[in-house]
Chain A
Amino acid sequence: MPEPVLAPPVLTLAGVAKSFALTAALADVSLELMPGEIHALVGENGAGKSTLIKIMTGVHQPDEGTIRLAGTAVTITDTQAAQRLGIAAIYQEPMVFPDLDVAENIFISHRDQGLLMDWRRLHEAASSQIARLGVTLDVRRAASGLTLAEQQTVEIARAISLDVKVLIMDEPTASLSAHEVARLMAIARTLKDQGVAVLYITHRLEEVFELADRVTVLRDGRHISTRPITEVTPDALVRDMVGRAVDHFVPKAAAGPHGELVLRVRGLAREGVFTGVGFDLHAGEVLCFSGLVGSRRTDIGLALFGIQPATTGTIELDGRAVLIESPEAAMRHGIAYVSEDRRKLGLAMALPITANISLASLRRLLGKLGLIDRRAELAMAEKHKERLNIRTHSVALEVGKLSGGNQQKVMLAKWLETEPRLLIFDEPTRGIDVGAKTEVHAIINDLAAQGVAIIVISSDLPEVMALADRVLVMREGRQMGIFAIEDATPEGIMSLATGERPADAA
């Protein structure tokens, strides 16, 4: 009998495409997973990794393309179906039942176990599953008392108890300690030896080179490359990830001297979130916070605006140390925060444009008897409609009915009305179309020219290159470096952000 040279792939994706509304999230992506391999999947934020995972686990259905499991075409209708087919995923935030013990968490999906609980057998079976992973964990403990890493272990044990053939690990190490990462990687290798195909998504390139057999790069929803790890270098990988035509990056012309020092931050930290952040910011200057998802860029913004105050460190405004423990305090100091999350932190979707714009500066609109002067409110809204080019037939329209770009402008108008001296933008152009994006960029540059100190938090490298005077790179809650835009390259930023280059190389 002829011996097969290569085991057939356990999972094959061919020509998979997926669009949401008008944006193509994935186009013609193919991927083969072999039994007993660890396959790394890397790419910038928005490269399509999440969409790909969601298609493999049945959360989304592909618009085009086929999925084959051990050679047979399958349709993965939902997560249940995925599990039945032997495809499971674990995420950065584990999906455990905090009130149930470890053993019950592991076997919760098992159906064929009879009417009654046999706790002893359950605990024995759970212990042996945990042992299979080469770790020790008391299976009688409630999941609520476990660390994140331990909860992930429980999830992995649950997956392998279901005879998983493909295990997707989506940035499993993002919030783990070095010690815990080593343990997780050992688990991944154990699974590989047991013949499981592990698809390992990560932003940490050193993990890719330490762990993976092959690596696939996605960029802008497309498959760029799949190569054995022995045939790639970190540089080549970063090039594949960033890879846009280089002329796409037009660094901002070196700006003239900026105004006075507005903000001085030293040793800023929030326990368990970020640490060691320090920078200066002058009037008229744009500082961009760059970094990958989970790098805690946004948390610095939230700390400066008092939503999640810093626990240590100093913030000085105009040379005076200030304590910012609430958004009210931040606003009093002339700080404004244009949130990424328009729905949650930015806008009252059911209210008209007028009310949204006036929301943060109602005090100035108080007329006789302390009531809101509707005419002044209307004038305020009209002024911004002109200035920011908000496209609507009426400022009385509900904000929820505007396009994303116009919602962004309404939110900006609200904060401009508070006449901030420091304006923090969090992902100012996420989810808005190209035209509106250019407009928002022009507005930001215009504000800087007027002497407003500006922080832009962005995961979009071209945006960073276009807007920033200086770039601060974050990685896993640590400031990796800060440099003038003339000295920055997209590759340089990316390799700092992924940890391919250590902090002191900046």
Chain B
Amino acid sequence: MTGWLQSVHPQTLRVTALALVLALVILFFGSQIDNYYTARMFNRISTSVAIILLIAIGQALVVITRNIDLSVGSIVGFTAYLVGDLLVAQPDLHPLVVVAAAMALGTALGAVNGLLVAYGRVPAIIVTLGTLALYRTLLVEYSDARSITTANLPKWVVELPQATLFSIGNLDIRVTFAIALGVALVVHLALTRLRAARRLYAVGSNPDAAAIAGINAERVVFTAFLLSGALAGLAGFVFLARFGNITVVAGLGFELKSVAAVVVGGVNIFGGSGTVIGVVLGTTLVDVIDNSLTRWALVSEFWRDALLGMLILIAVAADTLMNRYLDRLRRRRHMSELSAGTAPLPRETG
């Protein structure tokens, strides 16, 4: 019967379905766009994925705890601009110091979110909608209508996006892409192996039960926002390196992209489940579609956001339907056990 469906973890189903969809999408665009399977396309998508993936992983950590971080786009813009400004003023800073500064700045901004959500008990959607606007406005104030330009940045920063770690055939694995994959690997290992990280799932899965099990839910949620901020900060630095010219609109709309990547990647928007593998696939899917549409003659690239929105809706709907189906299977099993061994119906009276 359908019993095997229940023995498979729902997460495995999600990831498998997603990998299939990704393959189909790539095949589809390959048939529509000339010279689609080229090294150039791969490099373009991989450098773009590098940024979104960092943000999406942070977003996933937050969503797993039943929260959401809408301020990530503003954090990316904020750190990209401020770190750029720092580099213009002090071009001789060691690269590691620069990266550390970007992450520290992001962490600080994430801490504000985390404090308000975890300890202030304000809903995450309100807090981060507020800081989305707040951080952006602070940036506009600070920038005073100036831009960071490539010409003023140190050479190593400008060359970073082209830097190749190694090549497979003529596919280049860029340093920034490798960094993002490295982060993904570390977070993946943490989420599956680190005891403390399992609490993210516990808190998101059943907050009441987590409290009874003695898990400090406030600290767990706060930490998730810190990490989301830190990763958005790192993404801000990669953004600076990739584009060089930074204005106050840097990172605009990344909250939508990251939520799309996470939700499409099978992270349950109601918390409790999600994997890094899913997020990597989700990010790739979102970005492949995004980048391919600009080259697809049939559809205007202005449809990109609409398609992103649609993708979110489809992913959430598919997930809900799947869960409802599994739930019904379970209830039916329960009912058949119930009726297997109970007393006969009472006589009809009235």
Contacts and interface: CB of A to CB of B under 8 A. Distances in A.
Contact of A147 (B194, B195, B209, B330): B330
B7 A503 contact: no
A148 B335 CA distance: 11
Contacts of A180: 337
B206 interface: yes
A177 B337 contact: yes
B219 to A, nearest CB: 14
A365 interface: no
Interface stretch (A272-280, A319-327, A404-412, A434-442): A272-280
Contacts of B194: 115-117
A144 B331 CA distance: 11
Nearest to A474: B346
Nearest to A264: B350
Contacts of A276: 345-346, 348
A98 B349 CA distance: 42
Interface string A174-202: 00111110000000000000000000000
Nearest to A101: B9
B42 to A, nearest CB: 35
A95 B348 contact: no
Contacts of A482: 349-350
Contact of B326 (A114, A144, A480): A144
Given A116-B193, A142-B9, A267-B348, A95 B206 contact: yes
Contacts of A80: 212, 214
Contact of A97 (B202, B330, B345, B349): B202
B340 A145 contact: no
A271 B192 CA distance: 39
B347 interface: yes
Interface in A463-490: 478-482
Contacts of A98: 205-206, 272
A108 B202 contact: yes
B328 to A, nearest CB: 10
B38 interface: no
A97 B342 contact: no
A264 B348 CA distance: 12
Given A144-B326, A147-B337, A275 B345 contact: yes
Interface in B295-350: 326, 330-331, 333-335, 337-343, 345-350
A275 B335 CA distance: 12
B284 interface: no
Contacts of A266: 348, 350
B347 A503 contact: yes
B195 A96 contact: no
B161 interface: no
Contact of B334 (A113, A148, A479): A148
B333 A99 contact: no
A279 B350 contact: yes
B198 interface: yes
Nearest to B189: A116
A178 B343 CA distance: 9
B201 interface: yes
A138 interface: yes
Contacts of B272: 97-99
A386 interface: no
A104 interface: yes
Contact of B350 (A144, A278, A478): A278
Contacts of B209: 95-97
B341 A179 contact: yes
Nearest to B327: A144
A100 interface: yes
Contacts, number: 123
B205 A97 contact: yes
Contact of A99 (B6, B204, B334): B204
A99 B340 CA distance: 29
B208 interface: yes
B343 A95 contact: no
B10 A278 contact: no
B349 A117 contact: no
Given A117-B194, A147-B337, A178-B342, A272 B331 contact: yes
Nearest to B345: A276
At the interface, is chain A mostly helix, strand, loop or mixed? mixed
Contacts of B193: 116-117
Contacts of A275: 345
Interface string B43-75: 000000000000000000000000000000000
Nearest to B337: A177
Given A97-B202, A109-B213, A113-B195, A147 B350 contact: no
Contacts of A79: 211-212
B212 A145 contact: no
A481 B347 CA distance: 8
A100 B214 contact: no
Most B C-beta atoms less than 10 A away, residue of A117, A141, A279, A502: A117
A83 interface: yes
A20 B202 CA distance: 33
A247 interface: no
A179 B345 CA distance: 17
A3 interface: no
Given A83-B214, A99-B268, A179-B341, A117 B198 contact: yes
B107 interface: no
Nearest to A83: B214
B131 interface: no
A503 B342 CA distance: 13
Contacts of B330: 145-147
A141 B348 contact: no
A145 B328 CA distance: 10
Interface-central residue, B7, B338, B340, by most chain A CB under 10 Å: B338
Contacts of A116: 193-195
Contacts of A115: 194-196
A504 interface: yes
B292 interface: no
A27 B237 CA distance: 66
Contact of B195 (A117, A265, A278, A479): A117
A267 B347 CA distance: 10
Given A99-B201, A117-B194, A147-B333, A142 B10 contact: yes
Given A95-B209, A96-B206, A99-B272, A272 B347 contact: no
A142 B205 CA distance: 11
14 contacts: A95-B206, A95-B208, A100-B198, A100-B202, A108-B202, A116-B193, A117-B195, A138-B7, A145-B7, A146-B330, A147-B334, A177-B342, A178-B342, A276-B345
Nearest 9 pairs of A and B residues by beta carbon: A178-B341, A99-B272, A503-B346, A99-B205, A97-B205, A177-B338, A95-B209, A99-B273, A145-B6
Interface of A: 79-80, 83, 95-101, 104, 108-109, 111, 113-117, 138, 141-142, 144-149, 176-180, 264-267, 271-272, 275-276, 278-280, 478-482, 502-504, 506
Given A177-B340, A279-B350, 18 more contacts: A95-B206, A97-B206, A97-B272, A98-B205, A98-B206, A99-B205, A100-B205, A117-B195, A146-B330, A147-B333, A147-B337, A178-B340, A180-B337, A276-B348, A478-B346, A481-B346, A481-B349, A502-B343
